A and B are shown apart, each in its own frame.
Chain A
């Protein structure tokens, strides 16, 4: 299912539509087929206008079995189109999907337009000549369906044909069978009388700025952003990780970028991963580690070491639903407090959050810039939704990015490991191998001047203050908070962070079209916060914070600015719908 979703995405992008996708799949690799918890779904929103979300309710649902219909039907608009493989609506499958009666027969689908086809049978017929076993032949039915959907939306089949030929280069029969199925589905659309008067849809080109485009997932953009950021800093990258959903795709992508001087290391656990990254930074490389909430929890003690030793370190958290193992493949934004506060003692660091797949590229560069300039660990928050989702991206020209080359300390004259730059308060980065700068550092408290071990109480006070001041001072080096949509004053500010960007923005635009005095503010720099944010919020009568958690950003805003920020919480493992945010805004404005 994820494969054909990706194929549809590619061909849609080539049609000049804007798009956003939302792959939604179970945690089990081969979840039992036909069960509702085993349903693997791929949602795509595309069209002739600019797309900011993967969509609310769907116009069309393609259900390859009863379980898929059961799970996805609530997402379909009334009057929407349902395409089902009627061949799978057997008693056994209906039972597995917990249908008491057959929905194709009991009238429950009457509010929708239903296309029932025995796709299984037609697929078997289409691939007959290739002599596949029944099981293998039936696997081609996704391609048959994709062919029909391509016809309905007037998409080009060639990308998929090329992809099949490449994927099954060593199994030409399988490639040919899949292509035959794809073509047969398409031909069916052209020739057959599809019931209910459904014809091919035609969707115009979106009004998109000229330039060179591609589709990009969050994991790709993030990987490339890390590579780009390391290059701008003039550093080699050492990326250390332990596999965990949904963070592993970063490890996989970067492991294939050795030709960009990326060293990747699959550690024995998350603690080893972060410690290896710290060792790499200590020795002059850019140490990066990546995980999801449970793994980030394991890294906490080592992050404290990097804070105390004042070494640059990038920690990427691809958030997922929790607590504990939670729902590994479902998205959530519930690690904000873990990122800002989740370590023993007063241990401040930098936290930056990305808002969309392509935004990961820019956020990765920004995170690296701050970590190396201020000699500090920095956490980059993304989430499972952003990582897996794809969007259209106007590819930037890398030459237009400003570099921020690291200057390692090499001059022994007057060197002390913890003497700070007056402006940034960062200590010098002196790496082993440099003659004359031999020194010892660690997690024990250090003397303010010499860097030697110190248990002096006044010194600890001073060091704690300066570690905090260093991080707080970064507020002077990050962009002021802007308003994404609407005015800098008004009745209601909707404040978001991370992947809620799309739905908040659409909801706010829609209500502004109605004349409502609502604005959208989206925070990228979570810690330190932009220094004008408090003043900005004061310009609004109310502040509403939609978050995929129980109110973590709003707690932070309340504590920092004594503002009465209200939470709109959702923790179902699914992104917000535009309509949910719209409703909450209306509700607040009526009060």
Chain B
């Protein structure tokens, strides 16, 4: 049997530009770029209908390397620019690329509101727990005690959890992945793309120059199996090299605990089953932190509601039903007018 490949189906290479990539050698951003080019090829995206919008930062250079439409805007404001693009042309597929500083310091307000409004676009936050482009100052996701050029004695602020913040803002799709997870990233990107409304994805990204290995305690190959839990909708929350650890609600408490199947009478039936539509569960998963708990990777929450775009369209359709055919002369004569004769 002949396999017919659709004529216009593009390959990952088709999504690469001829521009010299200016990230430091070994930066995690390369891997994310590769996964995105793969994803767009897989989902059959077209170059002309895809738009990458970014703020400022290392991560925000991303659009220059995608052979689609791209807009490198100003620091923190990409969600607002993306919203405008969707208002003007809801058919475009808009990806907002942002960093932890871009999205959570200077642009915190816009992130909150794009999620709350549920504009139909994807927000990918490259979290490297530092301001890469400005040479490594601590960022809003840096853990307390982080030494950096501006905090020689260690930072004294508490970090914000990007996914917990997104859930709090009312996001209806919240997911997480890691730059090195080349199989997982395209799956998450595709899920984000398919979701109607704002999809929020946090990607742990290694900044090899200013914050190398900051996530190694749970992402390093030798520890990841025990320090991460990969979420699958409808599957029990089991992890560990031996696949014998699991999460359950701690009896008598409203919190999760790690248990070992086969010990203390714990069986697989006791383990929670992941339900992406359960916001309370998503909230608890978002806050799991190493070393005592595994870091939740995957789709924490997905429960679509009509998007902002849908709402605008409904209102426009309704209003246009009563339209006078955009007659400006009629507009100028609304209300009281009178005629003066000679």
Contact = CB atoms under 8 A, between A and B. Distances in A.
Contacts of A210: 339-342
B336 A214 contact: yes
B113 A272 contact: yes
Contacts of A159: 336
Residue among B71, B89, B92 facing the most chain A CB atoms (10 A cut-off): B71
B247 interface: no
A224 B341 contact: no
Interface stretch (A32-40, A177-185, A428-436): A428-436
Interface residues of A, number: 71
Contact of B319 (A209, A258, A444): A258
B339 A211 contact: yes
Contact of B316 (A13, A263, A443): A263
Contacts of B46: 435
B84 A438 contact: no
Residue among B69, B74, B88, B328 facing the most chain A CB atoms (10 A cut-off): B88
B85 interface: yes
Contacts of B113: 267-268, 272
A212 B337 contact: yes
Nearest to B84: A279
B51 interface: yes
Interface residues of B, number: 58
A284 B81 contact: no
Nearest to B47: A438
Interface string B86-109: 111101100000000000000001
Contact of A228 (B88, B328, B336): B328
Residue among A14, A269, A437, A440 facing the most chain B CB atoms (10 A cut-off): A440
B83 A276 contact: yes
B183 interface: no
Contacts of A395: 332-333, 337
Interface stretch (B60-68, B134-142, B150-158): B60-68
Contacts of B91: 433
A397 interface: yes
Given A212-B339, A238-B87, A442 B71 contact: yes
Contacts of B2: none
Given A396-B332, A398-B328, A276 B80 contact: yes
B318 to A, nearest CB: 8
Residue among B73, B82, B323, B335 facing the most chain A CB atoms (10 A cut-off): B73
Given A228-B328, A431-B89, A440-B17, A301 B74 contact: yes
Interface of B: 17, 19, 46-49, 51, 53, 63-64, 66-74, 77, 80-89, 91-92, 109-110, 112-113, 312, 315-316, 319-320, 322-324, 326, 328-329, 331-333, 335-342
25 contacts: A211-B339, A214-B336, A215-B336, A224-B331, A224-B332, A240-B84, A258-B315, A258-B320, A259-B323, A260-B323, A260-B331, A268-B113, A271-B77, A275-B73, A276-B87, A279-B81, A279-B84, A395-B332, A397-B329, A398-B328, A436-B48, A438-B67, A441-B70, A443-B74, A453-B64
